[in-house]
Structure 1
Amino acid sequence: MDATHRVFCGNDMSNPITSMGMQVSCILVISHFFNILLKAFGQPGPIAQILAGLVLGPSGMSNIEKVKNVFIQDNSTDINEVFSFFCRILFMFLIGLETDIRYMIRNIRMANILASGGAIVGSIFGFAVSFYVYQQIGGEKNMLPFNFIIMLVLAYTASPIVIRLAVELKFATSDIGRIVISSAIINEMFCLVLFNLIVGWHIGKFHILGKGILSILVTGAVVLLNWYLSVWLNKRNWNQKYLKSPEVLLILSLVIASSMITELMAFNSIINCFVIGLLFPKEGKTARTLLHKLRYSIHNFVLPIYFGYIGFQVNFASFKGLNEVLLTFIMVLLGIGGKLSGTLFACHYLHIPSNEAIFLGFLLNLRGHADLLFISSALKQLNSFGDQAYNVMFISIVINTILSGIIVSFLISGEAKMFAHTRTTLELQRTEDELRLLACVYGSRHISVILALISALHGNQTSPISCHLMHLIELIKKSKSNLLYHEKEEHDFSDEEDYGGNDVVQIHEAVDAFTVETKIPIQQSKAVSSFAGLFKDVCDLSEDLRVSITLLPFHKHQRIDGKMESGKEGIRTTNQKVLRHAPCSVGVVVERGLAGVPGFSQLIGSSPTMQNVATLFFGGPDDREAIAWSIRIAKHPHVNMTIIRFLSASSSENEHIDNHDQEQREVVMALQRGESLDQTLNQIDNTFMVDFYNRYVASNQVEYVEKYVNNGAQTVEALKDIGGMFSLFIVGKGGPGHSPLTTALSDWEECPELGTVGDILASSDFKITGSVLVVQQHRQAKRAIMNE
């Protein structure tokens, strides 16, 4: 706060502020140039930004006297510190908003072990080397704080840099990316708590308790006030897309005020900002507006300038001899060695492969955020660092970050399998595994049944789910495809923000009400493109989010008289292309609830009604995937699930399901004998159904019925018999001519993208009172190059 006083109370404000403005502009321009240059080598943005600061700073262009006179003015350091203070407030608040606290809680043990492994070994290395460094460059300063600061520097991980690298290198949504982000956040918060204790103890042990309690009370009061403000603002702006700017400013003012109070208490405000963001209500327009407003400015302006300023402060000319170079080399070596060895120990304990452990070790070695606060406070507040020690530590931190970032990017390019999207179906997953889902809507008409399916797939509400809703909007004018994220870092404040009209408001309202009702968090995004390119947006986002299933609404909708009316043909072609190119399993939803008849959308609400759901099994991978979806739906407390298996009446398989082990042996023997593909697939289906029967039917979790038919006509009659009994039918898309029970029905096909049975159930001539979910399992062989 002394820096703030000197900046705003000084006699000459023009030159330092102009200098800072020029620094910011040049850092953005040079970092953009480096980013273009280094992107070809797979290097992320933060590395380019730090290098831009190095080029512009005293180690580069500012070493020239005339350039130095322009960029480095009296009081410019104070202005930069104030600017950094506000930057830290904003991006730590944003990190708290973006943090998936549910994932952290579920994986708290693993994240803690990973965070503590590298931190403990790093602090041990730091304690061991601190005595030697003290003798070399710390001579007459306070030794104990000196030792503690070096330990903290070697134990610390900069979560903002870890997050930015994970996002830019596209592994933030992978399992390894999510766990390393959680570990980095835990590490940072713990180190900052220790740092605040060190500073408070140095000021006075009798004052630290009272000031600490006051800071906690202020933070708690802001968190509580935000809860009430969020609810009030959500109701106040019920018919708007976002909050108004003054309302956003009000919330940010509370965050800034509490941070300034914390700083006045002699504590660092990073934890304060993070906690306020972490505990901020995530549902509703308030959180959505904050994310929308903050992400673009922080990711595109604040963080590049902040990282650039780190490099700008480096001054290699401050080295006066070989001794300082040696000490810097030792600190860099110990930083990498401590984090790497500690993380390897932790990963060995957690049974994580060594290649992933090495990658995690270098990621957790990224520094440059709070480290700068540690050594700056050691220089100014704790009186434990001299200028020589400060320069050595600062340069070692920057070198450590640059080296680790470069190594991480090269490890990613060499270990593509580590980050491959592997969980592309539900058949091979356990029901306890996290369900990662992308749901798409073309308008507000589709939102109710999509939300009902999300609720059903969440099952018993205890299994984890990660859900993303994408609003697909046709771009009428000729323009390149633009994906406008509300919950991602890319934004484009253009006329396309107006696309979607009232549908956007209605979808937001429905999602907000759904989140409050079910406690299922849903991230939202909007894709604006021509119908020819929308499928690429869907497939790209499915790949980036590493989802297992993608839900699409059918292009037809049901009229009040029960007839199915076609919508835009572009919706149909988009669905067809997504089915062809999607990197995961796909479900197409046909809403067929007749007027006056409770439909499947009644599954959600303040008093949900029991829903009878049927899964039709004819055989094949798509039908097995449909069963896997049904297992999760069957766990929902308001769903009665029935599996209806269609078998040939003329076949010899009129017995009940045989022994599981015997069926498995038959499949293996069939493969060895080279039997026909149909026979082998039938035996795979039998083995799958045996396992399903023993797990779920025998335990009365689902009902199981077998229907024997001879041909397609009998199949249709059987479907008509059950048409009014269920509110949702789940069926696999199936391949052409796979089952003799449906082959003859292919002549009636109107929408082949639904498969034979799905097309019949979605037909206007087929009278049913339930919606239809057609499932297609992802198969690697089906993936094609998207060159359309």
Structure 2
Amino acid sequence: MAGLVLGPSGLSNVSKVRDFFFQASAAEYYEVFGFFCRMLFMFLIGLETDVSYIIRNLKVASTISYCGQIIGTVFGIAVSFFLHQQLMLNDKKKIGFILIIVLILTYTASPVVIRLAGDLKFATSPTGRLVIACSLINEITCLMLFNLIIVFHKKRFFRGGLLTILITVLVIFVNKYVAIWFNKRNRNQKYLRNPELLCILSLLIGSSMIIEMFTSNSVISCFLIGVMFPKEGKTARTLSHKLAYSVHNFILPIYFGYLGFQFDGSRLRNFSSVIIVIILVVLSIGSKISGALLACKYLRIPLNEGVFVGFSLNLKGHADLLFIGQATNTLIGWNPDAYNLLLISIVINTVISGPILAILMRREARLFAQTHTTLEHETSPDDQEILTLLACVYGPRQVSAVLALISALSGGSGGGGGGGMSPHLMHLIELTESRRTNISYHELEADELSDDEDYGGNDVVEIHAAVDAFHGETRILVHLSKAVSSFDALYEDVCSAAEDLRASIVLAPFHKHQRIDGKMESGKEGVRTTNQKILRHAPCSVGIIVERGLAGVPGFAQLLDAPPSGAVQQVATLFFGGPDDREAVAWSKRIAGHGRINMTVIRFLSTESSSVRSERVDERDDVEVFMSLASLENGKDIDNAFLSDFYNECVTSGQVGYVEKYVNNGAETMAALKDIGDMYSLFIVGKGGRGHSPLTTGMSDWEECPELGTVGDLLASSEYNVNGSVLVVQQHRNSKKDLIDD
């Protein structure tokens, strides 16, 4: 809108404003600035692209994208003869004109789509991920076709194509070793120094300039260089941090302003010009929507989702300007009227699609709602849907246990997310009163002359180093973030991040830690308060991690050790009944897929309710595994039905062990837990939600931490000396909760 106001249709009608913006060298300046813009944000998009998601959903995304492109091609060919006649262009270059019209109708600007998805907060939804994947496929395809057209026209196909491939491969190869070298240097730093960053960007800029000089454009090369750039370590972290701020807060706003600046309403001075613009806009929107609807009907995707995808793919951008700009110099050489009418249609397309997408989001809110708030009702861990995990740490002490759980929940598989899971790690930092935000510069101490990156101190360096080592070992990419706030408000940052990410799981560390003598020592009371508020307000299921383990005894965190030093971990899930325990078992199904975990589900039943004979079906590590088949088959409650499905899916295949223990009261339950206290390195248990149970009667008489539930509090207490860590799971309740705490 600012560009429209400043452009030829607005303030540029004033002579002084026009002379300032339309100087003799303005065209060259805008062209050079456009080159740096598209180079940097295509590299950044490649750096942040979730390649694993695109590969898993390549069939769906490519079907939607190419269906729209095919229809756009048909529309473009059909209308180009009429437009060519109306614009009175040279008949000798009619084929070039047809190709440009087809590209304009079929192109989608992925940077605009990604920026809009981030602003409207639908980038992490299934529909948003699909839209971004479709836009990337669409843009790369159109740019490749355009490059082929240019090099064929210039009759240097082999020379230009080979040069582009050679330079791109060389830069990708050099970046790999440069990134590894920079990651090893200055290990005590959070980010690269500016000269080191300049070295990498200079390589990107130099290669892009060579490609632009000898071929057509370097957009695809920059994108591929970003996709293939090593994602682990401080090098990628620095590039993402620095470029994201520059691109989103400086480059893209100016770029969008320049796009609007191209709009010259004075060109619409006659009826035929208006008709041409309307035809181009209608055909562009119509081809994208009809193509998306046809593809969605074939793929059995809801039609309202197809309409949203269609409007999203109608967003135009920098490559459209590239198409008509280079076509002016090489392919067509059309008149100013034709050039400006195409520019106007491009601007109107984007101006129309943006507000319509915002309206569709409000009307179809359920398409972008957080769907996976629990794992109990998940169909399969191998489902194509990506589950997002948000883990929180307050310092380096808790990182090993959190990363071990991330590895376990992802099934131990790598590849940028592992097992269809996208893990995020948030460092929660207390903002103390001494670090006032309104302090004057001269009041700062010498060690405080920095921005918010200083918050966290050396803890940030240690956390980054641990995450980098974790990625190198498991190939699971963990996205890092940071929240700086007072303890009273930290939970709001966590809940907001979980909602924006559409997380299915939130992990938080317990406020106590174990001393050398085995006793549990309390940390900051603010940590406990934050955890309690997260449990109360989180928009998804929550897990509280209590890290325990006697000195010299292998703990669950050693799951991160490389084989053969890393031992197989014995994990037990305790089931007493209720939604939280069912959620704990659902988490266990994912954890059981890890190759170095032996999972056993232990169900506690009342002796009085057991009237059927238990049958022995397995034996593992001197622990007798029993299964009351009759009680499961004849059970009428939700717990029995859930465990029956779980048994048929996981236990019969040998993936998970199953034990039933019969007790009468809380005392016998405590005795049974003591018997198995040194057999497992991790206990998973639901927080509660099981109502009054005779199996836990009397266990809460001396409860210290109600946020862990009766059983979790017992296992985490200093008096109950167990070797294993504890994961307390709370299933998300579907009731709506206010984010602001009373």
Q: What's the TM-score, normalizing by structure 2?
A: 0.93
The residue that corresponds to 1:168 in the other structure is 119
Q: Which of 55, 61, 78 is 1:111 aligned to?
A: 61
Q: Which of 634, 645, 655 is 2:592 aligned to?
A: 634
> In 2, distance between residues paired with 1:114 and 1:737?
49
Q: Secondary structure at the match of 2:701?
A: helix
Q: Secondary structure at the match of 2:718?
A: coil
Q: 8 Å contact 2:579–2:689 — kept in the other structure?
A: no
1:666-707 Cα shifts (integer Å, max 9, x gaps): 74xxxxxxxxxxxxxxx1101111111111111211111111
> In 1, distance between residues paired with 2:84 and 2:573?
72
The residue that corresponds to 1:33 in the other structure is none
Q: Which of 571, 575, 593 is 1:617 aligned to?
A: 575
> In 1, distance between residues paired with 2:629 and 2:556?
35
The residue that corresponds to 1:97 in the other structure is 47
> In 2, distance between residues paired with 1:350 and 1:276?
32
Shift of residue 398 of structure 1? 0.5
Q: What's the TM-score, normalizing by structure 1?
A: 0.88
Structure 1 position 80 matched with structure 2 position 3: no
Structure 1 position 459 matched with structure 2 position 411: yes
Range with greater deviation from structure 2 (166-175 or 118-127) = 118-127
Change (3 A) 1:614 1:480: farther
Range with greater deviation from structure 2 (525-534 or 371-380) = 371-380
Q: Which of 497, 502, 506 is 2:458 aligned to?
A: 502
The residue that corresponds to 2:678 in the other structure is 724
What are the within-5 Å matches in structure 2 for residues 377-526 of structure 1?
377-429=326-378, 430-433=380-383, 434-459=386-411, 461=413, 463-477=419-433, 495-526=451-482
Structure 1 position 146 matched with structure 2 position 80: no
Q: 8 Å contact 1:379–1:387 — kept in the other structure?
A: no
Q: Secondary structure at the match of 2:595?
A: coil
1:402-429 Cα shifts (integer Å, max 9, x gaps): 1011111111111111111010011111
> In 2, distance between residues paired with 1:407 and 1:480?
42
Structure 1 position 67 matched with structure 2 position 23: no
Structure 1 position 306 matched with structure 2 position 255: yes
Structure 1 position 758 matched with structure 2 position 709: no
> In 1, distance between residues paired with 2:65 and 2:527?
47
The amino acid of 2:157's aligned partner reads I
> In 2, distance between residues paired with 1:110 and 1:661?
40
1:641-672 Cα shifts (integer Å, max 9, x gaps): 11111000112454454469965xx74xxxxx
What are the within-5 Å matches in structure 2 for residues 66-465 of structure 1?
66-140=16-90, 142-204=93-155, 207-429=156-378, 430-433=380-383, 434-459=386-411, 461=413, 463-465=419-421
Q: Which of 530, 538, 546 is 1:590 aligned to?
A: 546
Shift of residue 605 of structure 1? 2.2
The amino acid of 1:229's aligned partner reads V
Q: 8 Å contact 1:481–1:528 — kept in the other structure?
A: no
1:515-537 Cα shifts (integer Å, max 9, x gaps): 01101011000000000000000
1:323-351 Cα shifts (integer Å, max 9, x gaps): 11111111111111111111111111111
Shift of residue 496 of structure 1? 2.2
1:118-156 Cα shifts (integer Å, max 9, x gaps): 111111101100011011114325101100000010010
> In 2, distance between residues paired with 1:586 and 1:619?
18
The amino acid of 2:271's aligned partner reads L
Shift of residue 317 of structure 1? 1.2
Superposed CA RMSD in Å reads 1.7
Q: 8 Å contact 1:241–1:505 — kept in the other structure?
A: yes
Shift of residue 736 of structure 1? 7.1
Change (3 A) 1:494 1:157: farther
Q: 8 Å contact 2:576–2:690 — kept in the other structure?
A: no
* Percent of residue pairs identical: 61
The residue that corresponds to 1:706 in the other structure is 660
Q: 8 Å contact 1:146–1:384 — kept in the other structure?
A: no
Q: Secondary structure at the match of 2:694?
A: coil
Shift of residue 432 of structure 1? 1.0
1:181-220 Cα shifts (integer Å, max 9, x gaps): 011011000000000011111111xx21112101110010
Q: 8 Å contact 1:474–1:531 — kept in the other structure?
A: yes
**Structure 1 unaligned regions, length at least 5:** 1-50, 483-492, 668-682
Change (3 A) 1:660 1:562: closer
Change (3 A) 1:533 1:509: same
The amino acid of 1:452's aligned partner reads A
Q: Which of 499, 505, 524 is 1:568 aligned to?
A: 524
Q: Which of 510, 531, 537 is 1:554 aligned to?
A: 510
Q: Secondary structure at the match of 1:390?
A: helix
> In 1, distance between residues paired with 2:690 and 2:299?
46
Shift of residue 503 of structure 1? 0.7
Q: 8 Å contact 2:89–2:335 — kept in the other structure?
A: no
> In 1, distance between residues paired with 2:529 and 2:602?
31
1:538-582 Cα shifts (integer Å, max 9, x gaps): 000001101111110000000000000000000000000000000
Shift of residue 368 of structure 1? 2.3
Range with greater deviation from structure 2 (458-467 or 402-411) = 458-467
Change (3 A) 1:329 1:659: farther
Change (3 A) 1:76 1:772: same
Q: Secondary structure at the match of 2:506?
A: strand
> In 2, distance between residues paired with 1:600 and 1:645?
22
**Structure 2 unaligned regions, length at least 5:** 439-448, 615-627
The amino acid of 1:516's aligned partner reads G
The number of residue pairs the alignment matches comes to 709
The amino acid of 1:726's aligned partner reads Y
The amino acid of 1:553's aligned partner reads P
> In 1, distance between residues paired with 2:108 and 2:163?
28
Q: 8 Å contact 1:726–1:769 — kept in the other structure?
A: yes
Shift of residue 378 of structure 1? 1.2
